[in-house]
């Protein structure tokens, strides 16, 4: 997908930012359907007749939130800068080795997880521990790429989209 990048001081609209975020995630090897499958894995036990389409729709809604967009753009930028050797030490080594004591990747993910309430923490914890689907794939690529922020961002988007579905199901909106 080619997306026109906004130039200069002009701020991008939320819709353009969403398109950019989708394109950036795809550039890093993560598709909307990959994230929808994570949502399905988390929620299928709890929501009867849950469809992949409903999961995908929920991911789309989460990506319309500006704090989510900003977190994704920031995290992916840092991963890519680390990959290109543009960061100074000791940060460069911490990011390249995905140092478990770094912790800022998880902190950034919190700004996404929070959006649909505390159930997001539980969902994120599960995804972070089990690393199903695309999270495992992204994690396994860490020898060749820097995905220190990406794995947490993807898990957080899936966790938020799952929480959103849980709330909507309770409200009879599914």
Binding site for Mg ion (CB under 5 A): 105, 148, 151-152
Nearer to Mg ion by Cβ, of 148 and 162: the residue is 148
Residue 59 CB, nearest distance to Mg ion (Å)? 20
CB 114, CB 120: distance < 8 Å = yes
Nearer to Mg ion by Cβ, of 116 and 149: the residue is 149
Nearer to Mg ion by Cβ, of 41 and 128: the residue is 128
Which distant-in-sequence residues (6+ apart) come within 8 Å of 63 by Cβ?
18, 21, 22, 69, 72, 157
Residue 21 CB, nearest distance to Mg ion (Å)? 18
141 Rama class: left (phi>0) / alpha (psi -120 to 50) / beta: alpha
Structure letter (DSSP) for residue 89:
T
Residue 62 CB, nearest distance to Mg ion (Å)? 19
Nearer to Mg ion by Cβ, of 148 and 163: the residue is 148
Q: How many Å apart are CA 8 and CA 58, to the nearest integer?
A: 32
* Cβ atoms < 10 Å from Cβ of 40: 21
Residue 100 CB, nearest distance to Mg ion (Å)? 9
Residue 57 CB, nearest distance to Mg ion (Å)? 27
Structure letter (DSSP) for residue 115:
G
Q: Return the closest-CA partner of residue 153 out of 69, 91, 83.
A: 69
Nearer to Mg ion by Cβ, of 34 and 105: the residue is 105
Which residue has its beta carbon closest to Mg ion?
A: 105
Q: How many Å apart are CA 144 and CA 158, to the nearest integer?
A: 24
């Amino acid at each position: 997908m080619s997306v026109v990048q906004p130039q200069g001081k002009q701020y991008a609209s939320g819709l353009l930012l969403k398109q950019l975020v989708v394109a950036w995630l795809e550039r890093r090897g993560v598709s909307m359907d990959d994230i929808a499958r994570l949502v399905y894995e988390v929620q299928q036990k709890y929501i009867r007749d849950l469809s992949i389409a409903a999961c995908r729709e929920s991911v789309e809604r989460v990506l319309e939130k500006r704090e989510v967009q900003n977190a994704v753009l920031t995290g992916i930028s840092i991963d890519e800068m680390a990959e290109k050797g543009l960061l100074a030490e000791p940060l460069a080594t911490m990011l390249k080795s995905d140092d478990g004591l770094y912790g800022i990747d998880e902190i950034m993910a919190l700004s996404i997880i929070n959006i649909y309430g505390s159930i997001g923490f539980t969902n994120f914890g599960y995804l972070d521990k089990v690393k199903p689907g695309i999270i495992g794939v992204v994690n396994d690529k860490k020898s060749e790429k820097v995905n220190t922020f990406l794995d947490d961002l993807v898990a957080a988007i899936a966790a938020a989209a799952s929480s959103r579905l849980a709330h909507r199901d309770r409200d009879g909106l599914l």
